[in-house]
Structure 1
């Protein structure tokens, strides 16, 4: 028989390495244990869009679990990039006119709602002010970055327009001009990037990564200036932006909600059909399924699972035959079997997230597949938490 002290120690060790029953909790707790998503990069403040994505997931997890530690972590992360007077500091530079940092804006508005501390409204106002002067195409699309003139990327809708809609809903709900502008952002990017049958090779019915209104980028197509491929994470950003913005759109938002519902219902069926029929996973480059060098990528896949399940759950997309939910479930279960790594210490790691995808080079197949694959990349892990929250509601 083992001594009592040893039995006690073994029992404590067993509890220490036990993983939560919820994958959403496990994923979030593991990221927190590694210090991810807290507004710091090696101790240096960093205004970072994956942090905003992760904080969005933590808000939903807090609502589901009531675990106050998630709120505390959101607050800690935001405090690391905002001074007490509301100044956003660290890596933020308004004059660079980049949409990516604005993804942290919904966190500021969330904290303002929770605390009524003017600091957070001031911080959010910084981003709202940026949008007032942010460069646009002649049609009104926000440039993704100042250094990419006249380019609209799907990524930017998630980064900038979810905040734009959150600000307007919370603080300026009767601003019909703003609501029309947000609607235009979603519609313009769709019109320029949607694949057209017969005209477009490797047709999927989905959206190209981005477009150049001026048609001068090396990758711009001659017809609408779009990029050559459908990249999974860019489409994932857009799909998440659709379902999240529909959810927060008030009755005063005019055509926003019906427009976004229309776009979502156009995209959901081909997105379901783009999943690999054998595994249920989605390819990194959706326009080149099975091509040598292509692979199943984890961040875009989890964004798709989140968006599709949320769309069906909230009644945004009909799923009469259950095929949309079935596709999302199959994709999620592939992720559990292939991308979740049990570290044996109570935490998990997340695999197969492509580090980056940009339109600063050729934007072609060879570019996308040449980018490094990361482990524990927060862009993918945050999406996994969101997808897990939806899957666990099933």
Structure 2
């Protein structure tokens, strides 16, 4: 791979890449952690830890997240483990680090290959858990983690693209960009570039990252509402795609959640003097203004289909609401949005606690009303209609909800 320079991580670099990270003890770094066993969860803990410990209780091995029955390399695991990483930084409790490392040790082979990962599928979802490996490599320097990181990064060198350079969501979804894909690929791409690339190579990559957002803004924003459609088919060949615009027909809450998180997380790595930085912040402002207009007036939450709150079958959805809280709270803390959005975030967060959280006798916390999954096309065919979105499975404790809930909690607890 051209332009890759493996840097030794000085204290300064660690401060930039892993601000406030606490390096594990040597025994923690080298020994394979045992599975986590949690019996009761204290109500005295902050909500971030209560939910994280609940996840660890439900899924003693991190590969079980998303209700998997066997180890699998997938994106929901990386989402919850990012939250676990931040909790370890904050608290120093080794169980949070052990939970992360056990996942990597189960999935990453000694030669750096990754179990169940097939690069030939060109599935951008598979890059998200690469953030777990970047963190672990930074604190352990284990070469297998580095090789696995480089393997994932190499996917982008040949990943199929639209005519304007946008990454397809998957090889099996030709000519399509989904909002989901911006979160799955771009924070990893940016983090990798920040850590390993320099000079012209880094500048070229940062430009490529910003271009992904430019393409989305050009094609997927509704000029009337400012909301973004779930997907765009450049070829206009899909049944779900409008024949003139190529757009899917609805505004799915979690798709916009992924997009907002992608912006605020990419900004962690985009250089301060990069011309695309202010552009992304402007996109975030427009996005945020549009979301406030469809926030439920009674609960402060958001619906599964964002602009159709009063229609039959629609429901207040936990994962999207948690993602929006995280995006707004982080954006305010970083100075991208005005302080008024912290009020929006807190109102929504309180709505989650009041309407979507239940607590069991042993202290286990449940996050209810999560859409299990939604997509476009495929087999069986997913039409992107309103009826489709409101009839997908709804379940409690989906990691695509619990992960963002923990991240949102951490932002509001700071």
TM-score normalised by length of structure 1: 0.90
Corresponding residue number in structure 2 for 1:128: 153
Pairing 1:111–2:136 present: yes
Aligned to 1:25: 49
* Distance in 1 (alpha carbons) for counterparts of 2:40 and 2:184: 37
Contact 1:302 1:387 in 2 (8 A): yes
Query: How far does residue 128 in structure 1 lie from its aligned partner after superposition?
Result: 0.8
TM-score (norm 2): 0.86
State the match for 2:258 in structure 1: 237
Mark the CA change 1:223 to 1:28 in structure 2 (over 3 Å): closer, same or farther. same
Show the 5 A alignment for 1:57-206: 57-89=83-115, 91-174=116-199, 175-197=202-224, 204-206=225-227
- Return the alpha-carbon distance in structure 2 between the equivalents of residues 142 and 376 of structure 1: 30
How far off its partner does 1:43 sit?
Answer: 5.5
Aligned CA-pair RMSD: 1.6
User: Between Structure 1 and Structure 2, how many residues are aligned?
Assistant: 368
Match of 1:200 in 2: none
Point out where structure 1 has 5 or more consecutive residues left out of the alignment. 1-14, 198-203
Q: Distance in 2 between matches of 1:51 and 1:20?
A: 26
The CA distance in 1 between the partners of 2:211 and 2:61, in whole Å, is 31
Contact 2:206/2:270 (CA < 8 Å) preserved in 1?
no
| CA drift at 1:318 | 2.0
| 1:296 lines up with 2:323 in the alignment | no
SS at match of 2:184: helix
The equivalent of 1:283 in structure 2 is 303
* Worse overlay, 225-234 or 29-38: 29-38
Cα deviation for residue 304 of structure 1 reads: 0.1
Match of 1:10 in 2: none
User: What is the CA–CA distance in structure 2 between the aligned matches of 1:147 and 1:114, rounded to whole Å?
Assistant: 36
Query: Which residue is 1:354 aligned to?
Result: 371
User: In the TM superposition, what are the counterparts of 1:205-216 in structure 2 within 5 Å?
Assistant: 205-216=226-237
Deviations 1:337-384 (A, max 9, x none): 121111111211211100111011211101100101011111111111
Partners of 1:37 and 1:180 in 2: CA distance: 38
What is the rounded CA distance, in whole Å, between the counterparts of 1:192 and 1:287 in structure 2? Answer: 19
Structure 2 unpaired stretches of 5+ = 1-38
State which of 344, 359, 362 in structure 2 corresponds to 1:345.
362
Alignment of 1:51 with 2:77, yes or no, is yes
Q: Does 1:267 align with 2:297?
A: no
- Shift in CA distance, 37/16, structure 1 to aligned 2, threshold 3 Å: closer
- Match of 2:346? 329
CA distance in 2, matches of 1:231, 1:189: 15
2:207 is paired with a residue of what secondary structure? helix
Which residues in structure 2 correspond to 1:360-371 (within 5 Å)?
360=377, 361-371=382-392
Which has the larger displacement, 182-191 or 300-309?
A: 182-191
Could you tell me how far 1:256 is from its partner in structure 2?
Answer: 3.2
Q: Which residue does the alignment assign to 1:5?
A: none
SS in 2 for 1:341: strand
Whole-Å Cα distance in 1 between the matches of residues 117 and 131 of structure 2? 16
Alignment partners' CA distance in 1, 2:188 and 2:241: 28
Could you give the per-residue CA deviations for residues 1-60 of structure 1, whole angstroms, max 9, x where no partner exists? xxxxxxxxxxxxxx9453243000000011011226712465622011111111111111
Q: Residue in 2 aligned with 1:201?
A: none
Residue by residue over 1:95-152, the C-alpha shift from the partner in whole angstroms, topping out at 9 and shown as x without a partner, is 1111111110111111111111111111011111111001111111111011111000
Equivalent residue, structure 1, for 2:8: none
Contact 2:232 2:241 in 1 (8 A): yes
CA distance in 2, matches of 1:334, 1:42: 29
Which of 402, 405, 408 is the equivalent residue of 1:381? 402
> Contact conserved, 1:37 with 1:50, CA < 8 A, in 2?
no
Deviation at 1:232, TM superposition (A): 0.5
State the secondary structure of the residue aligned to 1:95. Answer: helix
Structure 1 contact 275–282 (Cα < 8 Å) conserved? yes
Per-residue CA deviations over 1:233-285 (Å, capped at 9, x if unaligned) read: 01000100111111222347x33322211111111122122211121110110
| SS at 2:107 equivalent | coil
Report the 3-state secondary structure (helix = DSSP H, G, I; strand = E; otherwise coil) of the residue aligned with 1:247.
coil
